[in-house]
Structure 1
Amino acid sequence: MEGKKILLGVCGGIAAYKTASLVRLLVKDGYEVKVVMTTSSKSFITPLTLSTLSKNPVASDFIKNDQGEWQNHVELGLWADLMVIAPATANSMAKMANGICDNLLMSVYLSAKCPVMFAPTMDLDMYQHPSVKANQATLISYGNIIIRPGIGELASGLEGEGRMAEPEEIYNAIQNHFNSKQRFNGKKVLVTAGPTFEKIDPVRFIGNHSSGKMGVSIAKKFISEGAEVVLVSGPGVEQLDEVDIHQLSVNTADEMYEATKSNYQQVDVAIFAAAVADYRPAKISSEKIKKAEDAMIIELVKNKDIAYEMGKLKTLKQINVGFALETENEELHALGKLKKKNFDLVVLNSLNDIGAGFSHNTNKITIFNANQESRRYSLKSKEDVAKDIVDAVFELYED
């Protein structure tokens, strides 16, 4: 990354100490780094440390020195190829979202013409507060790129979300930003994710253990590649606030079918990652069913097979990708779905593989194409699996 210019904004949070490692990683890889600090951030890490590591003077005040030389915030904002604010505290995020310009860092942020990334950091309850969430959503709507905090031990001693991403994670986000070819720029992608819940009565339902993590990871990866994504998600699936995701939350298979069908003809790629219930109760009781006999029989009727129905509507310009979660005769069942549902690719994962399937953060897959050729992958994080799937879709465009 020789010659790429990074402007690092450091705010006053305990995670500021991590910026020393981040600067070191960036400089080692050939980035040119300049640092702008808020006054409060100096309580957590010294300007001398960051200027030594960055090999550039650290800016923190509008006046550079005793001679009254002005620190040109506009010049700093125009200098950078990318601005990264890490840590981004609740206070600074509020200022960024509302255009409050009371320190040098905020002046530089408001003057910046380059993309801006921000890495939130704060305690568990603060991060969940509606005002913080609203400011975060506003920043994303402005086109800022969030580097999401992790879950772990916080400075307060609590355990939860709000821990600033590690320096290596921020470094990787920066690398991906510059390396991304935006291969799906201008493309529209539909992704289904998570389970469906089929009501028995007001308190009971038929469902499954799907978390929607795989579908969400795929949706995020397509967004990072420039696509506009419609995410049709079942109950319990993570709610996303990325700018280019239009998320439709549904509960039942019928609702997922209608949401998918209404968007399908406008998309270039459809990824059917949801674990849709095959059957639903023929009758839904309006009252809670009371315990009476030793046994209870519930008549079930078949739901529409969403992927199959969309396969009948598929045009030559569209790509459909399906999933096969199997426990026996796995390849045979996967290849059967490939043909029956008019898939261009089918992704097979087995519940017999440790770390694969529902609720895990990892997955192990085999991808089959329309010629029944297969490619097997090792156990990976679902984020890395999503990359493999998106790469496989892109290969279809190259062929």
Structure 2
Amino acid sequence: MNILITAGGTSEKIDNVRSITNHSTGRLGKEIGEHFLANGHHLTYVTTPQAVRPKAEENLTLIEIETTKDLEAALLEQFKQQSFDGIIHSMAVSDYTTETTMSEEIFIEKLAATLAKQPALSDLTKLTEALYLSLDEIGKTSQQEKKIPSGTDRLLLFLKKNPKIIAMLKEQQPQAILVGFKLLVGVSTEELIHVGQSILAKNNCDFVLANDLEEIHGDQHKGILIDAQGQTVTAQTKNEIAQLIVKKVEEKWRN
């Protein structure tokens, strides 16, 4: 099989020395990748600089990215070049990217200047609309500083929503067996399965691995694999999850 795995956690630049990221280590993706490689499959592994990854070998192609935009570009390039039998999208992708950053003083100056151009804003609806338009305009301010000065007491960071990478995977590779991942924190098993099923249906996944951050401690990693028929299988460690995913993907591919 020709397998694609995404693993690790993306980061979004604030300036040339600062970024927003998450705590994903890529350990689960590495474990899954190593099991696919051990079974003789070819693996394209897309990961981030700080994440762990499988050891170099003949059947492994490694691609390194940082931002969600980088990830999207790398995947689209791979999809032009080859067809995948399975896609394991375990990467923790940033929901938001930075739009611009400015000090409290500059923000207030820009907001005041924008609102001053508006007619009388005593009407609450008109004021609310004007504020939304002003924030949209300010948010598009180009980030000039390569390193944001640290002298301001309050720094305003504008974030905008990233595209959902998982949403485009089946569109680009409809033949691929797609495994999505969903991480929640402190929810019931019922809620975990319910949200996992919604992710599966929304993104046309074949499987979704639903897990709770409070159930992850080192190698102990409780995960519930949900298939398109709503059936679930629970694993208790990263190794068990990896074996389960490889087994289910291989079975579906053979059938």
| TM-score of the aligned structures, taking structure 1 as reference length | 0.49
- Change in 2 beyond 3 A, CA 1:285/1:393: farther
Q: Contact 1:193–1:215 at 8 Å: present in 2 too?
A: yes
Displacement of 1:200 in angstroms is 0.1
Once the two structures are TM-superposed, the CA of residue 285 in structure 1 deviates from its matched residue by 4.8
The answer to whether the aligner puts 1:228 opposite 2:42 as a matched pair is yes
Equivalent residue for 2:231, pick from 359, 362, 373? 373
Gaps of 5+ in 1: 1-186
C-alpha offsets along residues 134-171 of structure 1, whole Å, 9 cap, x if unaligned? xxxxxxxxxxxxxxxxxxxxxxxxxxxxxxxxxxxxxx
Aligned to 1:273: 90
Mapping of 1:38-77 within 5 angstroms?
A: none
User: Aligned to 2:32, which of 182, 194, 218?
Assistant: 218
- Quote the offset at 1:287 in angstroms: 2.0
Structure 2 unmatched ranges of 5 or more = 101-142
Q: Which has the larger radius of gyration?
A: 1
Counterpart of 2:153 in structure 1: which amino acid? Answer: D
Larger relative contact order (Cα-Cα within 8 Å, sequence gap ≥ 6): 2
CA distance, structure 2, for counterparts of residue 395 and residue 219 of structure 1: 17
Other-structure match for 1:243: 58
- Match of residue 299 from structure 1: 158
1:397 aligns with 2:214: no
**Alpha-carbon shift at residue 257 of structure 1 (Å):** 1.2
Q: Is the 8 A contact 1:202 1:287 kept in 2?
A: yes
Q: Deviations over 1:24-52 (max 9, x none)?
A: xxxxxxxxxxxxxxxxxxxxxxxxxxxxx
1:384 is displaced (CA, Å) by: 3.1
**1:252 equivalent in alignment to 2:114:** no
d(CA) in 2 for partners of 1:395, 1:221:
15
**How many pairs are equivalent?**
206
For residue 132 of structure 2, what is the aligned residue in structure 1?
none
User: Which residue of structure 2 lines up, in the alignment, with residue 338 of structure 1?
Assistant: 200
Q: Secondary structure at the match of 2:169?
A: helix
What aligned pairs does 1:113-124 form with structure 2 within 5 A after superposition? none
* 1:291 CA displacement: 2.2
Judge conservation of contact 2:192–2:212 (CA < 8 Å) in 1. yes
SS at match of 2:215: coil
Q: Are 1:318 and 2:132 an aligned pair?
A: no
1:17-166 equivalences under 5 Å are none
Counterpart-to-counterpart distance in 1, 2:153 and 2:192? 36
Structure 1 letter corresponding to 2:250 = F
Is the CA contact 1:201–1:285 (under 8 Å) kept in the aligned structure 2? no
Task: Report what 1:36 is aligned to.
Answer: none
Describe the superposition over 1:34-82 as per-residue Cα deviations: whole angstroms up to 9, x where unpaired: xxxxxxxxxxxxxxxxxxxxxxxxxxxxxxxxxxxxxxxxxxxxxxxxx
Following superposition, the deviation at residue 396 of structure 1 comes to 1.6
Q: Contact between 1:213 and 1:361, CA under 8 Å: does it hold in 2?
A: no
SS in structure 1 at match of 2:239? helix
Runs of 4+ in 1 over 4 A off after TM superposition: none
TM-superposed deviation, 1:385: 2.1
Aligned to 2:77: 262
Inter-partner Cα distance in structure 1 for 2:94 and 2:199: 16
Cα distance in 1, alignment partners of residues 239 and 27 from structure 2 = 9
Question: 11, 18, 41: which is aligned to 1:204?
Answer: 18
* 1:361, distance to aligned residue in structure 2 (A): 3.0
1:350 aligns with 2:212: yes
